[in-house]
Structure 1
Amino acid sequence: MTTDTQPSLSPEQDAYLRERSDWMGAYLVLHAWGVIALAMAVFIAWPNPLSFVVAVVVIGGRQLGLAILMHDAAHRALFKNTRLNDTLGAFLCGWPVGASLTLYRPYHLSHHRHTQQAEDPDLILSAPFPITKQSFWRKMRRDILGITGYQRRLEFFRMEMGDSPSRWQRVKKLWAAEKYFFLSNLAILAVTTAAGVWWAYFLLWLLPLLTWYQVISRVRNIAEHAVVGNNDDRLRNTRTTLTNWGMRMVLAPYWVNYHLEHHLFVFTPCWKLPAAHRMLMAQGFGPRMELAQGYLAVLRQAVSKPHDGPKHGKTGDPRKHAALI
């Protein structure tokens, strides 16, 4: 890694960025679920093509938001209380969208220790870039049509069932691995059924999870580590994407676009990342940082390859990539 002057914090700044809040953690979790419920209610009250598209985009964005809050919990930054952090981070944030906090935490912390190095378990997600526009749009089509989400979930299930000749043993392994995902989704189905709109689970929860969630997870993943300036410089091997409120709402909820700040100060709750960004700017690190002015600017770099080359195969446990964070 580059050993040039790195950002430093005063004791007061360090204490501020490290301070977590149970109240803020609870607010963020309730906010994510509240926005999902409100988007569902709007479409149910005024069903039309426009309100449907808005609902899918908003709900898919908050589903990603839940994965982001689980990511904060993986760093024990969502709640100050460790038990609240791990319990609510797993059961209210991770499992409903099919992500396991237990599996994700050690894997993700390894990503932080070895960012963009050969040992980085996430390197497979950024290494193929840049790609061609044709390749990118093929991926986008699979994402928005639900093909990616469907295939990924089946891949999880097959891996979890193993290759035992006994069907009962395979089912037992699948239940052990996915019971909380199944139960949390059954709870969502039960709530929508009790409200008299059982179909809302399939149309307004499962469909966004299989479509828009996949689209924005891919875009976010590209923005964070693909086509960065220098894999060996902590200020250049991770990107912060500066964007407006509307784009953050549908594409990068809960300040996840401040990804460089997150890598530099991993102990910082997501809601303090804008403050961390201002601290870096005040120290004059702006010109050295990997910053992008919007997601379109990043995507232009990511799809700049003129011709398709050899395909990169997938490796590793796909369950650990579930949140794509």
Structure 2
Amino acid sequence: MSSVNSIFSQETRKKLTKLYKKNNWYNFLCIFFNWGVISSSIYLSMKTPNIWIYLLSIILIGSRMRGFDNLMHEASHKMLFKNKHLNKWVTCFFIAFPIFTSFTTYCKSHVLHHRFLWDPQKDPDTKRYELMGLDKPQKKMSTFLINHIIKPLTLLHVPKYIFGTLKVNLFSKEEPLSERIARLGFWATILVVIAVFNLWLELLLFWFVPLLTTFQIIRYWAEMAEHSGLKTDHPLYSSRNTLGNPIERFILHPHHDNYHLVHHLFPGIPHYNLKKAHIILMENQEYREAHHCMGFFKSFLPGFSSVIEDICGKFIFLRDK
């Protein structure tokens, strides 16, 4: 098995050193931006009662929930904020609790994912990919499109996801009592405010509907893009970058989640520096030949694959690898 140190020269790794620096203010702005988009989407939909505006609103809200997923991921690497208490509790109240995620449970699971990537016994994500049949390249494009692009739109996977979420996040023995009490207090406060101002319909339409619909579709596709079809122990070929158009990146891969290969190679680099790291790594011939997809549904750049093509084994540069 190749190691990152054997793939990249000392000179390249030295260039990356300055990119490890954390920036508290940037992540405060990211959190504020996500909540700003959610608030603006709700305001727009309420001021313009139209089904198409509402659909646009819940897509935007779902994308920001995915943004919370990605900032939660950043916090699990202790990179959201420099102070460990700030890193945990700001994440809990403004990111994790609203989308029913357990900070501690997620962190422990994600450590295993990085340490044992593609190990079916130890990597929780590998188990999910195998269950979905996405651990290896798909044999037939039409079958893949039906099962993994069209079927998620029916939301048939949501009940299983909800059960898994409740089991892992709300009833986990690994979660400390302080987090359970904090989450209970968070939602108790929210529900009191909702009751006082009689905002039950708004809570349903603008939180729980996107939480259970658009967010689940976005999450399914985004997580599928990260590793599907790339079961190998080679660090360069076990994850992919998705360098799609701005709309795709905004909806499916908020906060630079599209540089997923870069993240797995150098997990200590904060999300806002992953693009800079990618540019430096492109000096390496092996890295240039890794999985860099130019779009999710369709590649916008000739000579490169889309994520869908890559998952189906139609990767242009590494077809025989």
Aligned to 2:229: 227
CA 74–176 in structure 1, closer or farther in 2 if over 3 Å, else same = closer
Q: Verify: 1:125 aligned to 2:120, yes or no.
A: no
Cα deviation per residue 1:160-196 (whole Å; 9 max; x = unaligned)? 898xxxxxxxxxx9x9986655554555555566666
Contact 1:261 1:277 in 2 (8 A): yes
- Shift of the 135–90 alpha-carbon distance from structure 1 to 2, 3 Å rule, reads same
Shift of 1:56: 0.8
List gaps (5 residues or longer) in structure 1. Answer: 163-172, 306-325
After superposition, residues 1-325 of structure 1 pair within 5 angstroms as 1-3=1-3, 5-6=7-8, 8=10, 13-118=15-120, 119-127=122-130, 128-129=133-134, 130-131=137-138, 133-134=142-143, 137-138=146-147, 143-157=152-166, 181=183, 183-188=185-190, 197-228=199-230, 231-296=232-297, 297-302=306-311
Q: Relative to 1, partners in 2 of residues 1:303 and 1:144: Cα closer, same or farther, differing over 3 Å?
A: same
TM-fit CA distance, 1:153 = 2.2
Mean CA deviation greater in 182-191 or 41-50: 182-191
Percent identity, aligned pairs only?
27
Query: CA 1:294/1:161 → structure 2, altered by over 3 Å: closer, same or farther?
Result: closer
Residue 303 of structure 1: how far off its partner (Å): 5.6
User: C-alpha distance in 1, partners of 2:154/2:57?
Assistant: 16
TM-score, normalised with respect to structure 1: 0.79
Task: Judge conservation of contact 2:16–2:280 (CA < 8 Å) in 1.
Answer: no
SS at match of 2:282: helix
Q: What letter matches 1:2 in structure 2? A: S
* Residue 88 (structure 1) shift: 1.1
Moved more, 195-204 or 34-43: 195-204
Give the letter aligned to residue 219 of structure 1.
Answer: W
Query: C-alpha displacement at 1:12, in angstroms?
Result: 5.9
CA distance in 1, matches of 2:18, 2:167: 45
* Partners of 2:239 and 2:260 within 8 A in 1: yes
Change over 3 Å in CA distance of 1:137–1:285 after alignment to 2? same
TM-fit CA distance, 1:277:
0.8
> Is this contact kept in 2: 1:64–1:217, CA < 8 A?
yes
Are the equivalent residues in 1 in contact too, given 2:102–2:169 (CA < 8 A)?
Answer: no
Structure 1 residues 295 and 85, CA gap change in structure 2 (3 angstroms): same
What is the SS of the residue equivalent to 1:20?
coil
Aligned residue pairs, count:
293
Q: Check the 8 A contact 1:78/1:85 in 2, yes or no.
A: yes
The 1:82/1:13 distance shift into structure 2, 3 A limit, reads: farther
Distance 1:272 1:219 in 2: 24
In the alignment, is the contact (CA less than 8 A) between 1:7 and 1:280 conserved in 2?
no
Q: Which moved more, 1:117-126 or 1:66-75?
A: 117-126
Equivalent residue of 1:36, what SS? helix
Note if contact 2:12-2:281 (Cα within 8 Å) is conserved in structure 1.
Answer: no
Distance change >3 Å, CA 53–CA 281, structure 1 → 2:
same
Q: CA deviation at 1:156?
A: 4.3
Aligned equivalents of 2:196 and 2:170: distance in 1?
A: 32
For the 8 Å contact 1:7–1:285, the answer to whether it is kept is no
| Alignment partners' CA distance in 2, 1:65 and 1:77 | 15
Segments of structure 2 that go 5 or more residues without pairing to the other structure are: 298-305, 315-321
RMSD over aligned CA atoms reads 3.1
2:161 match: secondary structure: helix
The TM-score normalised by the length of structure 2 is: 0.80
Whether contact under 8 Å (2:16, 2:277) holds in the other structure is no
The one-letter code matched in structure 1 to 2:244 is T
Q: Deviations over 1:244-302 (max 9, x none)?
A: 11111111111101000111111111111111111111344443322111112222444
